[in-house]
Every structure is written in structure tokens, then in C-alpha cells.
Amino acid sequence: MRVLERYVLWRLTIAFVGTTVSLAGVVWTTQALRQFNLVTVKGQTLWVFLEITVLALPLLLLLIMPFALAIAMVVVLNQMNGDSELVVINATGAPPSVLLRPFVILAVVVSLTAAALSTVIAPAGMRLLRTELTKVRADLVANIVKPGRFIEIEDGLTFHIRDRVGDGSLKGILLDDRREADEAFTYLAERGQILEAFGRTVIVMNDGTIQRRTADGDLSVVEFEAYGFDLTNLTTEDRDPVYKASERPLSELLAPDTSDAYVAKNLGRMRSDLHDRLSQPLYPIAFALIAFLFLGEARTTRQSRGVGVAMILTICLLLRLLGFFSANLAVRSALAVPFVYLVPISAAAVAYVYIATETRPVLPRVLSRLGDLLYEATARLARRFSASPSARG
């Protein structure tokens, strides 16, 4: 590898790693906030929360990496253009392949990483995530016997106890059931106990009342000496998790077991997920070629370099949306399967033809002018905010 190629590859790698880490951090934070009720409501430890959120990270990386690669290429090419490095490279008469090679090398590495993530790592992570979530839900009894805490067993069903004695019985029980829209029940009891027998999980409450409130505001109170509230429906399903297509290994997608109830009902989803996984590694290569097509040669600001950046991001986003759309169509019909692959392959092929023939797509004059105006406005703002207070005064 030539010195120039190593230099460009190193800059690309640094930019790609930084962009990936930044995007992954932002996306992971948004996803982690959605799961924070595991600590605040479900009573789980911070370690369980971190474990569950980290398990989803491989799938997030799989979606982020192609865009991170495109953004890294935009950053590096713009820097090289601003430093006149692209001008010098073009002036030497070097063919486009000299500059293109490091971009392709990094794209291939990212594609191989995406292949490992899509076929092995991400499904395994999602499967473990499903297992951990079922453990959290199956740990219902351990959750609701924590004195002094209001625990939301599921949406609309909240449990609270004042104390737990050594024999396992509970004191000061409150069970609030608002799962039905037209009526709500509040169970108050002096004491109770959770029992498991004949495959059922029941909380037996003693010396308490049931308050029933309707949507019209009517209130009725019933006293009881003993009352059993069935918790079986909240725990039985969780003990036997059903793994979705995205959580199953590649071998199960290649040879679906129709005796599995989920598989028999979701053969289209299994087919779609299989081909979506296999097509994932094609997107980094397509995105890399598209980025190089629009910014791979030296251009002045008057040649609408800003519009080139906008075109890269827009085309990459549209391609990914088309990929999702094709995968959804493959759920309904096997005839849509080829489109899952044609979307990234056709985009990469068209971009490569332009690059190989050393031609560039001609942008409409309106877009070019708009890009120049946006660039000039951005440059003025940058100069204004970067100027010192004395200079502005």
C-alpha cells in the first residue's frame, strides 16, 4: 500500500471510529432511557439495567455503521479539499483508483463487521436480551415483596406492601388494578401470602376491602376475610419466552422448523429477516461509493460542494428506507426478496460506473445555487461566532 493510501486510510479510520462512537452513544442513550423503568419501577439493579441496554448495542451498531462510514468520508474528503490535498492529488495525474482504494478497503472491513453483526452477534444479543427481560418479568414474586416500594407489575397494575415477616407472609398490602378502561379496583388487606400450587401463582389476602370505581365515578366497597388474586397470567408466559425472527440464529432462518408455533405463523417474517440480514453488509460499500462519487474530486464552493454533502446524506437515507420497505414487502411475498438485494447493489453499481468513467452526475442549477447560498451563509455565521469580542465591537 502506498504512503498516500495509508495516510488516507488512517484518517478515514479515525473519523469512522469517532463518528461511530458518537452516534452509538446518542442512540444508546435514547434506548437506555426507554428501559430506565427497570430500575425506577421494576425494582431491578443498575447492573441488570446496563446488561439489558448493552445487549441491544450490536443491533444499533449494525444500523449506525453505514451512516457513520458515509459521514466519516464526507468529513475526510471535505478536509482534504479544504487543505488543497485533493487538488495536489489530481494535479499529479493519479487515477481515481489511487484515492478510491483506501475508501474501498475501509468499506470492505465495515461490511465484514456488519456481516458478523447481522448473522451472529446481533441475533445472539437480541436473544440474550429477550432472555434477560423474561427473567425480569418472571422474577415477579421477588419484585413485589419489597417493602415500602410501589412496584408496577404491568401497565395499570401496581403492588405495595408495608412489611414482610420471617415466615414469608406480607403485611399492609395494596394492589391497584387499573388495566380496564371502564372500571378500577383497589385491594387493601392487613396481611396476605403468595402461594404457588398446581401451576398457579396466587396472592391470598386476609382482612381487607375491595374498592370498585367505575368510569361514571360510582364507588362501591366490599369487605372480605380472605380473597385470592390470580397472578398466573403475569408469570406463566414469561417463563417460556417466544423468540422473534430477529432473535433467532441464522440456521433457524435457513431451515425453519414449522412445528414451532411462532415459525408456522410467521414464515414471511422469517424469510424477510433472513434476507435482510444477508443484505446488510452491502450497504457500507454502497454508501462509500456514493460518498466518493460526489466528493472524490477537488471542487470549489462555487461547484456546490455543499449540495454534494446534502445529496450523499439524502441518497443514503433514501436507500436505507427503500431497504426497509423491501424487507417489509418480503414478509408478504417471496417475489419481493430480490429487491432486498437490488437496492444496495444497484446503487453501488451506478456509483461505480460514474467513478470508473471519471464522470460526475450533473446537479440541477437550482440545487447548485442553493448549495452555494447555504455554504456562504454558514461561512458568515462561522466567522461571526469565531471572531473575538473586540473584533466584533
Point out the domain boundary residue: 215, 234, 253. 234
- pLDDT value of position 118: 93
pLDDT at residue 142 is higher than 50 = yes
Looking at the whole model, is its pTM more than 0.75?
no
C-alpha of 106 from chain center: 23
Long-range contact pairs involving 221-228 (C-beta distance under 8 Å, separation at least 24): 227/187, 227/189, 228/202, 228/203, 228/204
- pLDDT value of position 369: 65
Q: Are residues 110 and 62 in the same domain?
A: yes
pLDDT in tens, 210-228: 999 988 888 899 999 999 8
For residue 345, being part of any structural domain is answered with: yes
For residue 369, being part of any structural domain is answered with: no
For residue 366, being part of any structural domain is answered with: no
Q: Are residues 125 and 254 in the same domain?
A: yes
- pLDDT value of position 154: 75
For residue 306, being part of any structural domain is answered with: yes
* Cell digits of residue 132: 434477560
The pLDDT confidence band at residue 38, using thresholds 50, 70 and 90, is low
For residue 32, being part of any structural domain is answered with: yes
Whether 113 and 65 have beta carbons less than 8 Å apart is answered as yes
Angle 380-384-389 from CA coordinates, rounded to 5°: 165
Which residue is associated with the grid cell 440480514? Answer: 277
Q: Are residues 108 and 45 in the same domain?
A: yes
Can you give the residue range of the structural domain that contains 293?
3-137+243-361
Q: Are residues 174 and 284 in the same domain?
A: no
Which residue is associated with the grid cell 415483596? Answer: 145
- pLDDT value of position 64: 93
pLDDT in tens, 268-282: 999 999 999 999 999
For residue 76, being part of any structural domain is answered with: yes
pLDDT in tens, 80-126: 877 777 777 777 666 667 788 899 999 999 999 999 999 999 999 98
Identify the H or E element spanning 185.
strand 183-197
Q: Are residues 154 and 287 in the same domain?
A: no
CA distance 358 to 90: 12
Q: Are residues 51 and 79 in the same domain?
A: yes
For residue 386, being part of any structural domain is answered with: no
Residue 341: CB atoms within 10 A of its CB come to 15
Q: Are residues 127 and 262 in the same domain?
A: yes
Q: Are residues 61 and 205 in the same domain?
A: no
For residue 226, being part of any structural domain is answered with: yes
The pLDDT confidence band at residue 392, using thresholds 50, 70 and 90, is very low
Nearest to 186 by CA among 163, 164, 214: 214
Q: Are residues 62 and 32 in the same domain?
A: yes
Point out the domain boundary residue: 185, 213, 234. 234
Q: What's the domain count of the chain?
A: 2
Q: Are residues 123 and 230 in the same domain?
A: no
CA distance 32 to 324: 24
Q: Are residues 67 and 163 in the same domain?
A: no
Q: Are residues 193 and 265 in the same domain?
A: no
